[in-house]
Structure 1
Amino acid sequence: MSNQKIQKPTLTGQRFKTRKRDEKKVFDPTQFQETIVQGLNQTGSDLDAVAKFLDASGAKLDYRRYAETLFDILVAGGMLAPGGTLSDDLTRTEFCLFTAQEDLETMQAYAQLLLFLKGFTESERNKLAMLTGILLANGNISASILNSLYNENLVKEGVSAAFAVKLFKSWIHEKDINSVAGSLRKVGMDNRLLELFPANKRSCEHFSKYFTDAGLKELSDFARNQQAIGSRKELQKELQEQMERGDAFKDIIASAREEMKKNNISEQTMIGIVWTSVMSYVEWNKKEELVTEQAIKHLKQYSPLLKAFTSQGASEILLLVKMQEYCYDNIHFMNSFQKIVVLLYKADVLSEEAILKWYTEAHVAKGRSVFLEQMKKFVEWLKNAEEESESEEEEAD
């Protein structure tokens, strides 16, 4: 027997199994399109079903790698060939932006779906955000599209806040903060900006730091101001409810002062809130000859509440201005102004110094000539009384 080792035969062209770590996935946008289009066509036209399909598919398909293809599909129905035309040799979906109904509600739904996708890269999201900001600034789309940013997952992952930074920067650069404020108010979203952050970070302080650090101090100032307005509205509502219940003035005053301390509200701001609450609490007579009598009776009752928040001269001036504006804006009160001022002077809510300063320099334009004429005789009386008081003091010395 020979000790020579016999060689085993080999097959020509034999393939050796490649280790998984050495395998590289082939970039195949065509196969990606076929998978997405097939899934879209099976879901029908229901946007919620489409969103669920895309969200579920994101775990299996590489949205980041095929972001451009995915965008083409959702906007135009399929991959775009060079020159911007659709490829004829590929299956298309009827579920896309270009085949949707031409109305704002439908467009907002599509925008929400697009923004719902987390598969785009940061750079792609930034570009979309900047474009959206420009379109908003020029009035091409409604600010209600921003509802998409309040998606729970986007907020939780920080996508919403980051997207908002680029969007608002673009918007303000194109226009200004007034454009942003006006558009947000129009769709009732001026008080929702804090919702761009998760509940545990949803504070004015966090919002202010985040957007100020990002170079958007004007937006953080706007949000802080809106938050303050919201707090004042809540306080006014609470005051009116306390009055309706017939709570004692001492309890109302104590509660209001606690809110002032808690929310850093000045006395000047508070007297404005109290005045509005007091005047909103009652249903006024429509007859001019009867409303003055009704107002005097009402304000005499509530003068202790007004007095509690006019310990400073600036607060008295602000109250006078609020009274002037109210009497001008509510035409039945045009002839009531002077009598209300006299009542509050006698009730020690308003001082002669504050009334004289309002008369000479602190009044506003609304109904100025009418109200100054009404106050002329009373102001002369105050000046004479002041001069007599000074003379008496000099004689006493």
Structure 2
Amino acid sequence: LVAKGIVLPFITDFFKEYLVDNSLDDLIAILKRGKVEDNLLDFFPSSKRTAEAFSEHFTQEGLLQLVQYNEKKIFESKLSEMKSALTTQISDQADVAEVIETVKHYVKDAKLPDVEVVRLLWDVLMDAVQWSGKNQQQNANTALRQVKAWATLLNTFCTSGKLELELMYKVQIQCYEDAKLMKLFPEIVRSLYDQDVLAEDTILHWFRKGSNPKGRQIFVKSLEPFVKWLEEAEEED
């Protein structure tokens, strides 16, 4: 029946009828209970079991919310897969060039936005760090070594001021949410600057008007000495 294309119209009509009086969340809950949420492509003939065919069919049938749900699910799955692959490589101290190629492969394959790539890279790098309990200085040294070791990786994908700013947001939020990193923010930013990952203009923009609200006052104050140094150097030039 699937091969003959009989099942797909039937299931499509069911989805449409169900969603008249129920939400997409209700539909997904039913699909999960029936253990078919991850296997919706099985309702398509074998020659059409692709994400593109799924999107095209249900868009034409007016089920755009189902299409968006599926695309988000695929996107999150690709991100998770990429994160897992990179975590393994970085934990194994793979060559930077090899890791860069892995990132490029996933970016091309999954059409990942640059912003998501930058966020994910920072997560992976910090997740790979072996933190040392409450020893603040040791944690600082470890984090800075990680930044220095993988600066080329970050540099490869932080290709604009916008992406550099996104990286600063990511660092800020992580330092805000993780107590052991709270005091490391200025040191991490300084290291990223020293490694040419963050440009002076990006740091000054963040400081003057671009910081995230989370912990803004704390981080702006902690970065003041470095920003003052940047501004003085700028004036001398």
Do these two structures clear the TM 0.5 threshold for a shared fold by scoring above it? yes
1:310 equivalent in structure 2: 158
Question: Which residue identity does 1:385 align to in structure 2?
Answer: A
Q: Aligned in 2, Cα 1:192/1:331: closer, same or farther, shift over 3 Å? A: farther
Deviation at 1:351, TM superposition (A): 0.7
Conservation of the 8 A alpha-carbon contact between 1:211 and 1:219 = yes
Question: Is 1:300 matched with 2:153?
Answer: no
1:327 equivalent in structure 2: 175
2:63 equivalent in structure 1: 216
| Count, aligned residues | 235
Question: Which residue identity does 1:310 align to in structure 2?
Answer: C
Larger % of helix: which? 2
Please give the root-mean-square deviation of Cα atoms over the aligned residues, in Å: 2.9
2:76 equivalent in structure 1: 229
Deviation at 1:247, TM superposition (A): 2.0
**SS across alignment from 2:111:** coil
Deviation at 1:185, TM superposition (A): 11
Q: Aligned in 2, Cα 1:213/1:294: closer, same or farther, shift over 3 Å? A: same
2:191 equivalent in structure 1: 343
With a CA cutoff of 8 Å and minimum separation of 6, indicate the structure with the bigger relative contact order: 2
Moved more, 185-194 or 277-286: 185-194
Map of 1:355-374 to 2, 5 A cutoff? 355-374=203-222
Q: Aligned in 2, Cα 1:215/1:366: closer, same or farther, shift over 3 Å? A: same
1:262 equivalent in structure 2: 109
Deviation at 1:171, TM superposition (A): 5.3
Q: Aligned in 2, Cα 1:316/1:174: closer, same or farther, shift over 3 Å? A: farther
**SS across alignment from 1:308:** helix
Question: Which residue identity does 1:313 align to in structure 2?
Answer: G
**SS across alignment from 2:133:** coil
1:339-380 C-alpha deviation (Å, 9 max, x unpaired): 101100110011111122223333323222222222223223
Q: Distance in 1 between matches of 2:115 and 2:179?
A: 25
Q: Aligned in 2, Cα 1:372/1:246: closer, same or farther, shift over 3 Å? A: same
Question: Which residue identity does 1:383 align to in structure 2?
Answer: E
1:291 equivalent in structure 2: 139
**SS across alignment from 1:259:** helix
Question: Is 1:281 matched with 2:123?
Answer: no
Q: Distance in 2 between matches of 1:303 and 1:181?
A: 45
Q: Distance in 2 between matches of 1:181 and 1:323?
A: 38
1:380 equivalent in structure 2: 228
**SS across alignment from 2:150:** helix
Q: Distance in 2 between matches of 1:356 and 1:205?
A: 43
Question: Is 1:242 matched with 2:70?
Answer: no
Q: Aligned in 2, Cα 1:181/1:387: closer, same or farther, shift over 3 Å? A: farther
**SS across alignment from 1:335:** helix
1:59-84 C-alpha deviation (Å, 9 max, x unpaired): xxxxxxxxxxxxxxxxxxxxxxxxxx
Q: Aligned in 2, Cα 1:233/1:338: closer, same or farther, shift over 3 Å? A: same
Q: Distance in 2 between matches of 1:388 and 1:181?
A: 64
Question: Which residue identity does 1:368 align to in structure 2?
Answer: R
Map of 1:11-30 to 2, 5 A cutoff? none
Map of 1:61-210 to 2, 5 A cutoff? 155-156=2-3, 158=5, 161-170=8-17, 172-174=19-21, 176-177=23-24, 179=25, 183=29, 192-210=39-57
Q: Aligned in 2, Cα 1:171/1:323: closer, same or farther, shift over 3 Å? A: farther
Question: Which residue identity does 2:236 align to in structure 1?
Answer: E
Question: Which residue identity does 1:330 align to in structure 2?
Answer: D
1:272 equivalent in structure 2: 119
Q: Aligned in 2, Cα 1:383/1:167: closer, same or farther, shift over 3 Å? A: farther
Q: Aligned in 2, Cα 1:181/1:284: closer, same or farther, shift over 3 Å? A: farther
**SS across alignment from 1:336:** helix
Q: Distance in 1 between matches of 2:88 and 2:192?
A: 24
TM-score normalised by L of structure 2: 0.84
Q: Distance in 1 between matches of 2:211 and 2:28?
A: 28
1:258-295 C-alpha deviation (Å, 9 max, x unpaired): 33223222332222222121112233222151322221
Structure 1: give runs of 5+ residues left out of the alignment: 1-152, 390-397
